[in-house]
Amino acid sequence: MKKTDHLIEEHLPRLRRYARALTGDLTRADDLVQDTLERAWSKFHLWRSGSDLRAWLFSIMHNVYVNGVRKNSAVPMLLPLEDDALDVPVRAGQDDGLQVRDLHAALSCLSHEQREVLLLVGLEEMRYEEVAKVLDVPLGTVMSRLSRGRERLRQIMAGGAVPALRVVK
């Protein structure tokens, strides 16, 4: 039996990982996590005991994030080109086509809707139905965002490698 006292804490590392990938920035990510936790604690009575707490927490984070995006829609997403993230150690064998550091920048070029789906599926390894629930959108929307997001990412990564030499058609 799970100890109730660690319920939310257990999910903290994953919430932080998702927030970091979503915002691309350490401080903004932890702000997002903090806002999410505060809201989760204040609304804990709304959580149905026994239901999926991870999905509940991620949907709260989604709402906090989207509200922030709406509020700051005039502020362009920062491209972390000179970020410390560029120095993230790259696992051996990872540079065959996909440069991890490029991925960081490429992610920020996606729409936030596509980025969310891509991360919940690829990083959180949620089932598509779960993602639909967390984001409160139909399953078909999840699939089309996933498909478009992945294609977009692929093009950006491919294009980013040899930008001047690409000849189309």
Partner 1 sequence: MSEPMRTVSEDELHAYADGQLDEARHAEVAAWLAIHPAEARRVEEYQRQNEALHALFDPVLGEPAPQRLQHPVLASSWRGMPLLRHAAVVAWLAIGGTLGWFLHGEQEPRSGATTAFVRQATMAHVVYTPEVRHPVEVGAEQEAHLAAWLSKRLGVSVKVPHLSEAGYELVGGRLLPGSSGPAAQFMYQDGRGQRLTLYVRTDGAGSRETAFRYARENNIGVFYWIDGSLGYALSGDLEKSELLKVAQVVYHQLNP
Provide the 8-state DSSP code for 76. Answer: P
The span from the CA of 6 to the CA of 4, in Å, is: 5
Identify residues 94-153 at the interface with partner 1 (CB under 8 A): 94, 97-98, 100, 103-104, 118-119, 121-123, 125, 127-128, 143, 146-147, 150, 153
Half-sphere exposure of 159 (CA within 13 A, CB side): 11
Extract the tokens encoding 56.
Answer: 């509940």
| 53 forms part of the interface with partner 1 (CB under 8 A) | no
Extract the tokens encoding 8.
Answer: 């939310």
CB 119 within 8 A of CB 22: yes
Which of 78, 79, 81, 90: binder of partner 1 (CB under 8 A)? 90
**Residue 16 or 28 with smaller CB distance to partner 1:** 16
The span from the CA of 13 to the CA of 100, in Å, is: 21
Report residue 27 CA to chain centroid gap: 15
**Count residues contacting partner 1 (CB under 8 A)?**
49
Q: Taking the complex as a whole, how short is the minimal distance between the CB of residue 33 and partner 1, in angstroms?
A: 6
Which of 2, 45, 70, 169: binder of partner 1 (CB under 8 A)? 45
| 10 forms part of the interface with partner 1 (CB under 8 A) | no
- 75 contacts: CB under 8 Å, gap ≥ 6: none
**Residues within the interface to partner 1 (CB under 8 A):** 3-6, 8-9, 12-14, 16-17, 20-21, 30, 33-35, 37-39, 41-42, 44-45, 49, 85, 88, 90-91, 94, 97-98, 100, 103-104, 118-119, 121-123, 125, 127-128, 143, 146-147, 150, 153-154
